[in-house]
Amino acid sequence: MAVPGEKASFERVREIFDLKSYVPYKNVPGDPDDSIRQELYESRLYYVHQEYLKYGQRCKEGEKKNFEYAKEHGLLRECECCFANFPLNRMVSCSGEPHHLFCKQCPRKQAEETIGQSRYQITCLSLGGGCSAPFSLTERAKFLDKGLVTALERIEQDAVLRAANIEGLVQCPFCSFAAICVPEKENREFPCQNPDCLVVSCRLCRAESHVPLSCEEATQKAGFSARHEIEEAMSSALIRKCNKCSTPFIKILGCNKVSCTRCGNIQCDVCSKNCDYNHFKENQP
């Protein structure tokens, strides 16, 4: 376990001393016992904190003693990545032949970088040795914490699924969820089981499901509805067409004098006729 620093959050103290029943003090307005409970809480917290500091000190002293002992007995080794000396019992080794020794921080840093790049393989860090051996599970447990292990597992699972190309394996087009399904002929819908997604998609066109329409009918309908939307917008006076080249443009708040972005034609936004400035003055409210 890492040597804890001076400051500890209450949660951390609870975790270390396994104080699950130790409920933090909560202010209850109007409760006559409130000040007593607060005092009690604070004195207990003070005690726990003192214990925590002593524990940290013991850890530090323990590490120091361990280092001294290793030094005396010739049990210090150089990390093959950062080249600092560490006691052998604080080091991890790759599973290569011969194996290489590292401090715990170096492969841990590598693991964090690996996750950052959405990769999952953690291999030997030795410089120039050409060794690319992995770390055994026992060794990995020495430098990876729960969060890192979970992240690596998730990335690996995704990669394995993708690489396996398993027959009948279907991946949701909207997230990374995958499942083995009956052939498309029997069911062309894919209901995603990922609780954050739950989209039912079409396995043929990979869009959102459009049963009972065929993929073609669905795209036609989508095209139609897009056109329909434009027409609606035009009728609701949002879109105008240039009276010369018919380029559509959207009326933006402000002046009624609009000029076509394509041909430069100037027209009135209200009546779409070509007009001079007097026309605009006449039409102003």
Binding site for Zn ion (CB under 5 A): 79, 81-82, 94, 96, 100, 103, 106, 124, 126, 131, 133, 172, 174-175, 177, 192, 194, 197, 202, 204-205, 215, 242, 244-245, 247, 260, 262-263, 265, 268, 270-271
Distant-in-sequence contacts of 267-270, Cβ < 8 A, 24+ apart? 267/240, 267/242, 267/243, 269/240
CB of 8 to Zn ion, least distance (A): 26
Instruction: Considering the complex, state which of residue 45 and residue 205 has its C-beta at the smaller distance from Zn ion.
Output: 205
CB of 31 to Zn ion, least distance (A): 49
**Listed residue (127, 125, 130) closest to 93, CA to CA:** 125
Instruction: Considering the complex, state which of residue 48 and residue 240 has its C-beta at the smaller distance from Zn ion.
Output: 240
CB of 34 to Zn ion, least distance (A): 50
Task: Return the sign of the alpha-carbon dihedral for residues 131, 136, 87, 107.
Answer: positive
The Cβ-side half-sphere exposure at 196, using a 13 Å CA radius, reads 4
The span from the CA of 41 to the CA of 36, in Å, is 8
CB of 118 to Zn ion, least distance (A): 18
Instruction: Considering the complex, state which of residue 8 and residue 92 has its C-beta at the smaller distance from Zn ion.
Output: 92
Instruction: Considering the complex, state which of residue 51 and residue 217 has its C-beta at the smaller distance from Zn ion.
Output: 217
What backbone phi and psi angles, to 5 degrees, belong to 154? Answer: -65, -45
Burial class (CB in 10 A: 0-12, 13-18, 19+), 246: exposed
The β-bridge partners of 182 are none
Instruction: Considering the complex, state which of residue 40 and residue 226 has its C-beta at the smaller distance from Zn ion.
Output: 226
* The 3-state secondary structure of 12-36, one letter per residue: HHHHHHCCCCCCCCCCCCCCCCHHH
Burial class (CB in 10 A: 0-12, 13-18, 19+), 9: exposed
CB of 81 to Zn ion, least distance (A): 4
Instruction: Considering the complex, state which of residue 4 and residue 105 has its C-beta at the smaller distance from Zn ion.
Output: 105
CB of 215 to Zn ion, least distance (A): 3
The span from the CA of 4 to the CA of 176, in Å, is 38
Instruction: Considering the complex, state which of residue 170 and residue 242 has its C-beta at the smaller distance from Zn ion.
Output: 242
CB of 65 to Zn ion, least distance (A): 21
